[in-house]
């Protein structure tokens, strides 16, 4: 299937159409946008088996994963539909006038969030549905009132095309302006760069490598008008095994982590790439047991050859670092397109001296850092970069002695997990999928869950507006019955 790269003229035209659509779409009510978002979910479901089979073929992911991801995609479309109907996300605030205040009258001020404008979304290699064409970035931007231009990921352009068609059908059926969603191809860097540089583009969503995300971030900041880039890039998601629990539950912990390390051939941004523990019999047993699990693991074909080559190159590099010892690899070597599950270990002192070991190896690999004691473990934690997640495996009674460790981890990660694995990102209001740099370019926003809509909006205040000219959300009678902060009180 040939998907022709967009020309620079087509990029320009797409932004013009997006801007035109924006001028009406931005004023659509939550109800109207909800109809559109639900229609997208319906049309994706209507694609049926054709979508599943092309996605499987293009990504080498198994059917259950693709079906699950489709469910997650339609779920977030409907979740955002509910959100924009409910309306509290708009952060509506009303402060009424005091015309007789001295020395100066107090004006009437009303504020709410409004959309930024056209948003460019880059399809993600590792989520052909949930973080691509109708993925979380697209759904949250559309919910916020922003038109979206998707650059299809070249590795699953056919899947992207099918989903785009579903969205086009939803546009027609619900009477949305045509330019509210557009779909372009671009296998090289040119199309993506042109999209980010176009003056009509107001924000960018990206999930991928540190090099790719940082390049877009720099490009966007160098524009005459800088714009926000939400790039989710690089995280090795440390797992800390506390000693008492490890001594007792080494085998169980090993089985749980082996499952998380090899899940989806390790191709998750939340893959646990780093395990920290204190030396002793518990850790020895854990490493032995984890080794057994990893040896049994079956190498699977990765998303595309480029990712497999990159895994193999980065793995080789990590294993070649001073003091790194391979603990286990899958017995079956697999093909060059497959990722061979591997675990290695290194001492905390060698780890701390070598920044190369803190880099992400995207695939089914994890590095165990052997620490002499808790002090050394804390040093490794404090030395770590920003992460999407950090996890602690320990009984409640043990963990209560480690409050200061949690206090440090809050500074390092966007989500802290106790007695669980970081893979599996629940799509709910309380989710935070984000974290300090280099996990993302902006730790202040989540890429998953209802609050991800906040990336694509900005506040505007209306001062002394006649009621008829105010958006419905801010009118005195609150006709939409949304939660608002009214003269300092939460009211509906």
Q: Which residues are catalytic?
A: 232, 269
Which residues, other chains included, contact 79 with Cβ-Cβ below 8 Å and sequence gap of 6+? 427, 450
Q: How near is the Cβ of 385 to its own copies at its closest, in Å?
A: 8
Q: How near is the Cβ of 61 to its own copies at its closest, in Å?
A: 16
Q: Dihedral sign, CA of 253, 259, 265, 268?
A: negative
Q: How near is the Cβ of 335 to its own copies at its closest, in Å?
A: 29
Q: How near is the Cβ of 398 to its own copies at its closest, in Å?
A: 11
Nearest to 96 by CA among 468, 482, 489: 489
> How far is 207 from 216, CA to CA, in rounded Å?
11
The tokens describing 245, both together, are 């629990």
Q: How near is the Cβ of 435 to its own copies at its closest, in Å?
A: 8
Which residues, other chains included, contact 275 with Cβ-Cβ below 8 Å and sequence gap of 6+? 238, 239, 241, 257, 366, 367, 368, 369
Q: How near is the Cβ of 358 to its own copies at its closest, in Å?
A: 13
CB nearer to its own copies: pick between 168 and 462: 462
CB nearer to its own copies: pick between 10 and 442: 442
CB nearer to its own copies: pick between 110 and 340: 110
The tokens describing 228, both together, are 């926000």
> How far is 447 from 410, CA to CA, in rounded Å?
18
> How far is 406 from 400, CA to CA, in rounded Å?
10
CB nearer to its own copies: pick between 2 and 222: 222
The tokens describing 41, both together, are 């979910």
CB nearer to its own copies: pick between 76 and 156: 76
> How far is 207 from 120, CA to CA, in rounded Å?
12
> How far is 310 from 26, CA to CA, in rounded Å?
41
CB nearer to its own copies: pick between 41 and 94: 94
Q: Dihedral sign, CA of 435, 437, 442, 448?
A: negative
CB nearer to its own copies: pick between 468 and 477: 468
Q: How near is the Cβ of 443 to its own copies at its closest, in Å?
A: 4
Q: How near is the Cβ of 202 to its own copies at its closest, in Å?
A: 9
CB nearer to its own copies: pick between 279 and 442: 442
Nearest to 98 by CA among 488, 487, 491: 487
> How far is 335 from 356, CA to CA, in rounded Å?
26
């Amino acid at each position: 299937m040939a998907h022709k790269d967009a020309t620079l003229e087509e990029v320009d035209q797409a932004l013009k159409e997006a801007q035109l659509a924006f001028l009406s779409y931005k004023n659509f009510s939550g109800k109207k946008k909800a109809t559109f978002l639900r229609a997208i979910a319906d049309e994706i479901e209507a694609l049926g088996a054709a979508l599943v089979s092309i996605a499987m073929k293009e990504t080498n992911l198994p059917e259950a994963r693709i079906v699950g991801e489709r469910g997650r995609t339609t779920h977030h479309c409907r979740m955002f539909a509910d959100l924009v109907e409910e309306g509290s996300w708009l952060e509506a605030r009303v402060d009424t006038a005091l015309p007789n205040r001295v020395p100066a009258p107090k004006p009437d001020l009303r504020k709410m969030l409004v959309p930024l404008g056209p948003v460019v979304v880059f399809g993600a290699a590792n989520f052909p549905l949930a973080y691509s064409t109708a993925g979380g970035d697209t759904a949250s931007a559309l919910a916020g009132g922003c038109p979206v231009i998707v650059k299809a990921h070249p590795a699953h352009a056919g899947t992207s095309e099918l989903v785009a068609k579903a969205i086009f059908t939803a546009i027609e059926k619900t009477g949305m302006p045509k330019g509210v969603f557009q779909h372009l191809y671009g296998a090289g860097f040119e199309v993506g760069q042109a999209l980010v540089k176009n003056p009509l583009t107001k924000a960018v969503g990206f999930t991928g490598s540190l090099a790719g995300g940082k390049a877009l971030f720099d490009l966007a900041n160098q524009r005459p008008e800088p714009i926000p880039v939400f790039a989710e890039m690089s995280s090795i998601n440390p797992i800390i095994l506390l000693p008492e629990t490890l001594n007792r539950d080494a085998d169980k912990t090993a089985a749980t982590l082996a499952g998380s390390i090899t899940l989806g051939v390790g191709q998750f941004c939340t893959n646990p790439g780093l395990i920290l523990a204190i030396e002793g019999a518990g850790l020895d047993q854990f490493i032995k047991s984890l080794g057994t699990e990893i040896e049994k693991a079956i190498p699977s074909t990765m998303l595309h050859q480029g990712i497999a080559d990159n895994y193999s190159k980065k793995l080789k590099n990590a294993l070649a670092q001073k003091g790194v010892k391979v603990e286990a690899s899958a017995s079956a070597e697999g093909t060059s397109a497959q990722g061979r599950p591997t675990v290695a270990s290194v001492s905390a002192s060698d780890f701390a001296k070598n920044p190369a070991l803190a880099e992400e190896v995207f695939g089914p690999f994890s590095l165990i850092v052997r620490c002499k004691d808790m002090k050394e473990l804390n040093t490794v934690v404090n030395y770590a970069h920003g992460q999407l997640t950090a996890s602690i495996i320990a009984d409640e009674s043990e963990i209560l002695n480690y409050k200061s460790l949690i206090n440090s981890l809050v500074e390092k990660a966007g989500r802290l997990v106790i007695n669980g694995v970081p893979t599996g990102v629940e799509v709910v209001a309380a989710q935070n999928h984000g974290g300090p740099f280099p996990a993302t370019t902006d730790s202040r926003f989540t890429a998953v869950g209802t609050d991800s809509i906040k990336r694509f909006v900005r506040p505007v205040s209306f001062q002394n507006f006649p009621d008829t000219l105010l958006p419905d959300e801010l009118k005195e009678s609150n006709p939409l019955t949304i939660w608002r902060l009214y003269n300092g009180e939460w009211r509906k």
